[in-house]
Amino acid sequence: MTSLWLVLLESLSTFVLGVFVWAVVQHFLNVEIPSALQHSVKFRVIHCLALFVLTLGDILEKLRICSMPRFVQFLHDSLVIKKDSALVVTNMHFGTIPVRLFQPKAVSSKLQRGIIFYHGGGTLFGSLNSYHGIGSFLAHKTNSVVLMVGYCKLPDYHHPALAKDCLNASIYFLKNLESFGVDPSQVVLCGESIGGWAVANVMQILPSIPSLPQIQAQVLIQPILNFINFQLPSHQQSKNVPFLTRDVLFMCMCKYLAIDLSWKDAMLTGAVIPLDKWKKYRKWLSYDNIPRRFWSQDPQPEFLAPFNETAYLETKHVWSAEISPVLADDKIIAQLPKTFLVSCENDILRDDVLLYKKRLEDQGVPVSWYHVEDGFHGCLMLFDKKCLSFPCSVKVVNAVVSYIKDI
C-alpha cells in the first residue's frame, strides 16, 4: 500500500513539474518583456507562475473536476490577508452582494471621506482578499471609509451581473452614508481594470438618480472602455505583454459578454464594424485620437476587413455605451464629475485611457492624468506583495492616494 502511495505521489509530482515546464516554455515563446520594465527576471517568474496556475485550472476544467475560474478564485480567496491595527475591517452583505468595509479605528468628530472601490480581475480573477491590501492602504493613507464591492464573476454570471452588483451596492451605500460615518459631499468612486470599466458604467447612471448624493470624483485605473477598436497603437505594441495579453483579454471579454471566441479574428480585424457605425463613432474611437508620441515608429494604419454581417450580429451588443463607455452621449459625458485617469505604457489598454481622456476633456470635464512609463497591466495589485512588488506598483497607488487627498 505504501509503495502505491509513493508511485501516485511521484506521478503527481512529475505531472505538476511537467505543467510548470510547459508554462515556462509558453512564456518564452509567446511573451514580450518591454525594455523599460524594471526587474524583468522577477516579472518573468511571476508570469510563469500565473501561466502555471491557469494551465492547471484548464486541466481541471477539462477533467470536469473544477472550472478554471473557480480554481483561480479559490486560490485568491485562500490568500492570507494582513491586518492593519489602525483599521476596523467588516465583511457584510448588501442584499446578496458581499462587500468589505474599511474604517479608521480612531474616533472622528466629523464625517469622513468615502471611497467606493471596484476591484479588477477581468471577471475571472480578483477577489476581496486579493485586493484587501489596496483597501487598507486607501483607508489608512487618505483617512477614509472604503467600501470594496465583491461583485458576481464567471463562470456562473455574465454581463450585466458585474455592473448591476456594483451599481446596487453603490446605491445602498450612498443611501446610508451617515450610518457609515461618511460625508455625503465627499464620496469618490474608484476602480481598476474591469473595475475601472464598472466605474465608467455606474457613473452613467448615478447622476440620473436625484435622490442620491453626487459623486465628488471618479478614479479609473487602467480601465477597459472600448470593446470595438482593437487596432489602436497599444493593442499592437503590447499584445504580448503580461499580465494582460491579447489572448487573456479576449478570453475574459468573450466569456463575460457571452461571445464565442471563434469571432476573435473578425473583431480584431474590424470585420464586425459596419461602415455607417464607423463613420458615426470614428471621431471617438479612431487611432487619430491618440497623441503621436504613443504611436509606434512604423504605425499600422487602421484598416477594416470586409464586413461580416454574421459576426456583427453575434457581437453587436458591444456598441452600447453600457459596454463601451467611450460611446456615451455627450450629455452623459458632460455631467460626469472631475476625473483621475491612470495609464501604463506597457498596457494593452493604455489607449482606452487616452480615448476617454479626450472624450471627457472635449465635454469640459476636469481631468487629471497620471502615466507610468515603466508600468504594466495589473501592477497595482502587487504593490503590497513585498518581494513581488514593482516600483511602478508603488507609483500607481501613491498617485491615487495623492489625488484623493488633494480633492
Question: Catalytic: which of 347, 351, 352, 374?
Answer: 347
Whether 330 is catalytic: no
DSSP code string of 59-91: HHHHTTSS-HHHHHHHHHHTPPPPP-TTEEEEE
Residue with cell 485605473: 221
Q: In terms of Cα–Cα distance, which of 203, 215, 187, 218 is closest to 341?
A: 218
Alpha helices in 149-274 (DSSP H): 161-175, 194-202, 233-237, 246-256, 264-269
Sign of CA dihedral 222, 227, 232, 238: positive
Whether 193 is catalytic: yes
Whether 347 is catalytic: yes
All cell numbers assigned to 248: 487573456
User: Distance between CA 145 and CA 375 in Å, rounded?
Assistant: 28
> How crowded is residue 213: how many other Cβ atoms within 10 Å of its Cβ?
17
Q: In terms of Cα–Cα distance, which of 321, 335, 364 is closest to 226?
A: 321
- DSSP-based three-state secondary structure for 246: helix
CA dihedral 247, 248, 251, 253 (to 10 degrees): -110
Quick one: angle between helices 161-175 and 194-202, nearest 10?
A: 60
User: Distance between CA 177 and CA 199 in Å, rounded?
Assistant: 19
Question: Catalytic: which of 127, 144, 193, 324?
Answer: 193
Determine which helix (DSSP H) or strand (DSSP E) holds 7, and give its type and residue range.
helix 2-30
Question: Catalytic: which of 84, 374, 377, 393?
Answer: 377
All cell numbers assigned to 275: 461602415
Q: In terms of Cα–Cα distance, which of 192, 112, 178 is closest to 146?
A: 112
- C-alpha to C-alpha distances, 236 to 23, 269, 321, nearest whole angstrom: 24, 12, 24
User: Distance between CA 325 and CA 243 in Å, rounded?
Assistant: 23
Question: Any idea which residues carry the catalytic annotation?
Answer: 193, 347, 377
